[in-house]
Structure 1
């Protein structure tokens, strides 16, 4: 079965189907309106926390570059515009760009810089000032006869470590997929989310990487010879020659205070097919939430409340009476007509409610319960001017939602 992952071409096609008015829902009248805490981001994706727990970490997939190939809607441009950024004291901010701590990461985007892929995931390591980025893979044939920027190809399909003015790939997950192919489907890799798991008394530091195209969550550890060891934490096979069953397509990762791991899946972008799975630290499935649409971010609050980004939005499944989505609400900061997307709140009781967020991606929750989300996650820093396709849209942002 051919996986449907979050690529520029797919997103462009689906955006043409966006509704003329926000198809969203609200968590309730008592919740404050979202606040824009950071602006000027290039295709912001995964969110997390730096080692100090006070600075918000964001992966920026970049805005492509000047090396282009293809024609018309298929034209893609490559460059080293991806980055990892920090937003200091996000609970008190109301705008401004992040501080980029890693730059020069590979990026592929539409000619206007939108719908980029590249450094889609980022996480802090246990080394001060060193960050890990999950880099998508694009096959060489996507840019035939074109000289790509120096170091570009080596980053693709890898985990890259960066900081203090340098970056370098440390493990090739595309090669691991070619060697192991855990789900038994076609060989394809698209590392999209990353989670660094700190050492415990029984487990060394390691990283989990959600590989959307490999349909697998990889576990990356460092052996005694300092070489990365790649194994399978979870994989999601589908029946051979089955072209109808939605695939899981893991995109996002989170971890709770007990060390349990949460994996969000895109569900082949089919309405209601996306899921979130909770695992023990060792990879044993503990719980599964279903009925989502296009999951691109997950986060867990201290009280066990689960937050889920739905890239194109579908309300809160089961959030209203008789399982219907709760009522829509237009209380959204900034321009946003026609922009789909929402963040679903799943209470410990199982009740689901949602709040509208245009094209949401990564999620993070602070100790006070405030929720942060990447909004306009398919826009570069400049956004798009008004034109025949629709109204003007802002550049990539980070929003703060009420708890």
Structure 2
């Protein structure tokens, strides 16, 4: 499994020539997004801490706090490869990965847990994955048709800790390389919370063209990696996770939303999402889903109905404040060669006036 950064680049390039499905707009148009900042490049994660807006900018290696003037005040610098930040009271956790190239898995990956006294513990998901490989029970690749012979493989060793959330006095981490959700204690002890299943992709003309496959592959099944990305904890500590999934699924509308019970069993509750990278509760019975390749943010009920759609190109992260304000971040726009053509942004979507707290807590 390549890194999320590589998947985003590959998916963006494919999206230039392939049309990914999108959801219909809501019956009543949502308020226009209010732009707060253009001082980010790859804001993979937004987290609300009261009225503070925290951001993990992977391009800058910074965990920062949005200021009223649009600047990003750094809280933690040198967080290379960061993709998320989560808080619980005076605790903070953030993911980091040391990448070695687009086609290679990260050399290091894990969760950094900063305690109330400022001490930091590192939970090494990379080491745990390489010692246990929980998704080795899955079979990926072609499982039938003319390419099935030698075209499939079990779960490979790969860890890319992508999103962290607080969960019952500990932390959950969606690992986009290992295809699992980890449970991590404050002491850094790691265990498997859930292994995500394969995502079967039927090879149609679009997939054939995208992958450069022979005609005999049409109609065959390719088991894509699930690639868990967004995490949210709803009422009753119910866990929700989005799956991208891996190539070629991230631009074919094969993204899904799952509910995971306390035993770690995932149940798909919604499909048809185009590159979901982040989720957040939108009240007790719905979630917002950032779709990187779907044109914006979907609103999906916990029973699976698509309730609405907010246009926001390059949507990368979402987070909801306690008063219902939706915050979102977009990735920096790039050309076909992956070169930046514009900054990333942080926006709010609300029917009322929005204010933020710029005070940095020690």
TM-score (structure 2 length as normaliser): 0.73
Distance 2:101 2:19 in 1: 38
Residue-by-residue CA offset, 1:47-77 (whole Å, 9 max, x unaligned): 2222xx2212211102xxxxxxxxxxxxxxx
* Greater displacement, 357-366 / 161-170: 161-170
Q: Displacement, 1:393?
A: 4.0
Query: Is 1:171 aligned with 2:123?
Result: yes
Distance 1:22 1:400 in 2: 27
Superposed CA RMSD: 3.6
> 2:241 corresponds to which residue?
263
Q: Is the alpha carbon distance of 1:6 and 1:243 closer, same or farther for their aligned partners in structure 2, counting shifts above 3 Å?
A: farther
Q: Is the alpha carbon distance of 1:342 and 1:103 closer, same or farther for their aligned partners in structure 2, counting shifts above 3 Å?
A: same
Native 8 Å contact 1:101 1:164 kept in 2: no
Gaps spanning 5+ residues in structure 2: where?
137-154, 200-219, 352-362
Q: Displacement, 1:12?
A: 2.8
Q: Is the alpha carbon distance of 1:216 and 1:282 closer, same or farther for their aligned partners in structure 2, counting shifts above 3 Å?
A: same
Counterpart secondary structure, 1:11: helix
Greater strand fraction, Structure 1 or Structure 2 = 2
Distance 2:338 2:102 in 1: 33
Native 8 Å contact 2:235 2:284 kept in 1: no
Residue-by-residue CA offset, 1:174-218 (whole Å, 9 max, x unaligned): 0000011001011011111011224xxxxxx21111000100001
TM-score (structure 1 length as normaliser): 0.66
Q: Is the alpha carbon distance of 1:42 and 1:178 closer, same or farther for their aligned partners in structure 2, counting shifts above 3 Å?
A: same
Residue-by-residue CA offset, 1:210-246 (whole Å, 9 max, x unaligned): 0001000011124xxx4x221111102449xx98122
Query: Is 1:82 aligned with 2:61?
Result: yes
> 2:348 corresponds to which residue?
400
Counterpart secondary structure, 2:135: coil
Distance 1:158 1:87 in 2: 25
Distance 1:270 1:245 in 2: 15
Residue-by-residue CA offset, 1:101-133 (whole Å, 9 max, x unaligned): 111111xxxxxxxxxxx101111144x2x5211
Within 5 Å, give how 1:3-402 maps onto structure 2: 3=1, 5-8=3-6, 10-19=7-16, 26-50=25-49, 53-62=50-59, 81-87=60-66, 96-106=70-80, 118-126=81-89, 128=90, 130-139=91-100, 156-162=108-114, 170-184=122-136, 185-198=155-168, 205-222=169-186, 226=187, 228-238=188-198, 244-268=222-246, 269-285=250-266, 288-313=269-294, 341-347=295-301, 350-375=305-330, 377=331, 379=332, 393-402=341-350
Native 8 Å contact 2:194 2:266 kept in 1: no
- Give the number of equivalent residue pairs: 307
Q: Displacement, 1:298?
A: 0.7
Q: Is the alpha carbon distance of 1:287 and 1:244 closer, same or farther for their aligned partners in structure 2, counting shifts above 3 Å?
A: closer
Q: Is the alpha carbon distance of 1:279 and 1:14 closer, same or farther for their aligned partners in structure 2, counting shifts above 3 Å?
A: closer
* Greater displacement, 249-258 / 206-215: 249-258
Distance 2:233 2:341 in 1: 33
Q: Displacement, 1:304?
A: 1.5
Native 8 Å contact 1:209 1:217 kept in 2: yes
Native 8 Å contact 1:259 1:280 kept in 2: no
Distance 2:179 2:112 in 1: 20
> 2:216 corresponds to which residue?
none
Distance 2:196 2:177 in 1: 11
Gaps spanning 5+ residues in structure 1: where?
63-80, 107-117, 144-151, 199-204, 314-340
Distance 1:388 1:186 in 2: 29
